[in-house]
Every structure is written in structure tokens, then in C-alpha cells.
Amino acid sequence: MQGLMLKLLNVDAAGERALRVVAYFDQLAANNPDLDSVVRATALIADCIAGVELRDRGLVVRFSPEGVEPAGTSAQSERAALLVEGEDRGSAWLERSGDERELDEFIVERFALTVVAVLARERRVSEVDLPAGFSDPALAQLLVNDRVAEAERSRAARLLGLPGSGMIQLVALETGPDDRLGDLSAQLHERWNRAFYVAELSRHLALLIVVGSEPLTWDVRLSGRAASGPVVDILDAPRSWSIARETLRFAGAGAVWPRTLSSDDVGVLRLLGQIDRAAALAHPDVERVALLAAAPNGDEAVTILDHYLHSESLRSAARAANFHHSSVQSRITRIGTKLGIDLKSAAGRERAALALLLWRLCQNP
């Protein structure tokens, strides 16, 4: 192949040089190359950096003519879209400093066609039958274990079927009592139209590995709860999983927290989840909330308090809790007395809200 490239450089006629480019990529495709091989071969014939981006995988592959991954960001001079069965999967490009060369546009075109042939030959993860999308829990736990070496995590990623490099997002999914994980996976697959893997870690907890650089949007109703960590590099999976687990504690935690959350939704409040559980439960404010919840009609009292603390007015709190406003007013007075907090003051309401949230987080260790 390198010999063919050298011949190409010594041919004068533009038409003949173009035919040699076609022959070069045809010979490359005939050897069933992988994506890295195609990018390396293109960088060699173009004598500049070549790159490919697959947006659905969050994957970018770049190589220099020397066959090494270049440092720095890409400066694309010629680009072509990667259309697989009419779907735009990403792009291929050359990075040349200075003026473009005569055949750059043609090389990029053949480069893109060869990449498309590689993608068409692969069985796309999102097209795998759903049952086959379930992954070995042991491998998934190895991938998210921050105490194992990167080499072991990399091996686990390959065995799970993840691309060699790219971006992923970890999701902690807690199923409801009547949920079937297969049905939930089908629902999420239809909603997101994204490639993801599922590993059932326990009876009610599953780990989802979502492939791609675009953060998930939670527009799905679940009877259980779910939380997503940040988008990270594959080898940084433990961080995304740890944050997803911390975020899950907030999901459905009272009136203001939805049952599906992104870690960005929680923000700085995630630090509350790092407070020692025993220390939180031992604080007098949290103790009084726990006593309020354990008393007769305690669930009702906690619900009224929650709506009162997070509503614009007493009347809106009463509507949200489905009580008459005068009844809510008298109950809030009694609840404030039991808590030893002045719920009419802004500082008192903030203190009560924090105690209530800490108590709820302790219920979701």
C-alpha cells in the first residue's frame, strides 16, 4: 500500500492520480480494515493528519502520517459527512496547514466512503436485540471500580462491547416493585434512540452505560427512580457512576425533586450527600423531623411541611397538598412547635428545609 502511494506521487496527470487514489482505497477496503486502520492509511496517503468523528459514539479518531495520535485540537481543512443508510453519523476530514493540495477533496471523499463501508459492516450497538444488550454485571462493576488499574477497566470496556475510546454517561436506575428491567430498557431505548448497555446489579438497581458525548435529557416517566452522572471518557467511568449514585439519593426526595435527575440538576447540594449519615441523623433538627414522620399521621405532616417550605404562598402550598389553606396554616403552626423552628421566618424555613432534605437523604443511603 505504501508502494502504491509512492507511485501516486510520481504520476503527473491529475486523472491518473485520482484513479490511483481510488485504487488505494479499494485495496484498503478489500482487507476489511477497522476504523483506526482507515484513518492511519488516509493520513499516510494525504501526508497530513486525518480524523473521523462518530457523534453517536462520542468517538474521535485522529492520526498523523507517522501513525501516531497527534496532540492538540483539530484544524480541519477538508471535511466530508459520513452518511450510513441516509443517517448522518459524523464526519471525516484532513488537517493540512497551508494551502490545500489538488486531490485533498477527492481523498476526503474516498476516505469517507471507506469509513462508511466499515460502519456498515459493523453491527451497530443500537441495533442489537434488546436481550443481547444486557451486559455481564461483573464486567460492568469492574468498569466503574475506581480501585482497579486502568488496564483492567479498558479490558472490561472491550469485553462489554464499548468502543476503544470515546465518551459515555453512567446512569443509576432503581426499578419500582412491579417494573421489569427489559421493559424499562425498551422504553428508554425508544425515547433516547441511543446505544446503551444494561447491567443488573441487584434486584432493584441497574447500571446503564450510555454511549455518546451528548448528555441525556430526562423526559421519561418512571415508577422507580433514575439519575445520570456526567459525560466522561470511558476510562473515567468510576467518576460518572459515583456521581450518578450520589444524585440518585435526591431523586424523588419530596415534593420538589423529580424521580429522574441529572447530576447537573443537583449541583452544590450533592455535597450534602457526603455528610456522615449517623452524624446527620444525630443532629437535633433532623431528629425532630424523624420524630414528626414517625408520629401518627406523620406522612401527612411531612408532606404538608414539604409543600409549605417550597411553595410561593400558603394558598399554593394548600393546593399542592390538597388541603384547605386554613387547615394548612394551623398544622404548620403545630409542626413548627414540634420542630422548635419559627417557620414564619425565612431563616427558619431554610433551616427546616435543610433538616427535611438531610432526613430524606438518610432514607436513601
Structure-block grid coordinates of residue 213: 458525548
**Digit-coded pLDDT (tens) for 323-340:** 777 777 888 889 999 999
Residue 85: name the closest of 37, 124, 59, 32 by CA: 124
The answer to whether 249 and 225 have CB atoms below 8 angstroms apart is: no
CA–CA separation, 95 vs 101, rounded Å? 11
Per-residue pLDDT at 187 exceeds 60: yes
Q: Which pLDDT band, with edges at 50, 70 and 90, does 365 fall under? A: low
pLDDT at 125: 39
**Angle at CA 63, nearest 5°, toward 57 and 68?**
120
Q: What is the rounded average pLDDT of the residues 41-67?
A: 87
Q: Which pLDDT band, with edges at 50, 70 and 90, does 208 fall under? A: very high
Higher pLDDT, 16 or 218: 218
pLDDT at 172: 94
DSSP, res 49: E
Q: Which sequence spans correspond to the domains of the chain?
A: 2-122, 127-263, 275-363
State phi, psi for 311 to the nearest 5 degrees. -115, 160
Per-residue pLDDT at 124 exceeds 50: no
pLDDT at 12: 52
Lowest mean pLDDT among 131-135, 142-146, 184-188, 210-214: 131-135
CA–CA separation, 188 vs 358, rounded Å? 31
Cα atoms in the 13 Å half-sphere on the side-chain side of 102: 11
The verdict on pTM exceeding 0.85 is: no
The answer to whether 242 and 229 have CB atoms below 8 angstroms apart is: yes
- Tell the CATH superfamily of the 2-122 domain: GAF domain (3.30.450.40)
Residue 280: name the closest of 270, 294, 290 by CA: 290
pLDDT at 279: 92
User: Would the CATH topology of 2-122 be identical to that of 127-263?
Assistant: no
pLDDT at 123: 45
Run of H or E including 55 = none
pLDDT at 102: 80
Query: Cβ contacts of residue 32 below 8 Å, gap of 6+?
Result: 121
DSSP, res 364: -
pLDDT at 131: 34
pLDDT at 97: 79
Q: How many helices and strands, by DSSP H and E, does the chain display?
A: 15, 9
Structure-block grid coordinates of residue 178: 412491579
Q: Which pLDDT band, with edges at 50, 70 and 90, does 266 fall under? A: very high
Amino acid at 276: D
| CATH class label, 127-263 | alpha beta
pLDDT at 10: 53
CA–CA separation, 234 vs 231, rounded Å? 9
Amino acid at 193: N
**Digit-coded pLDDT (tens) for 147-181:** 888 888 888 888 887 876 789 999 999 988 777 88
Per-residue pLDDT at 294 exceeds 80: yes
User: What mean pLDDT, rounded, does the chain reach?
Assistant: 84
Per-residue pLDDT at 219 exceeds 60: yes
Per-residue pLDDT at 126 exceeds 80: no
Q: What is the rounded average pLDDT of the residues 185-198?
A: 83
**Digit-coded pLDDT (tens) for 25-50:** 988 888 778 788 899 999 999 999 99
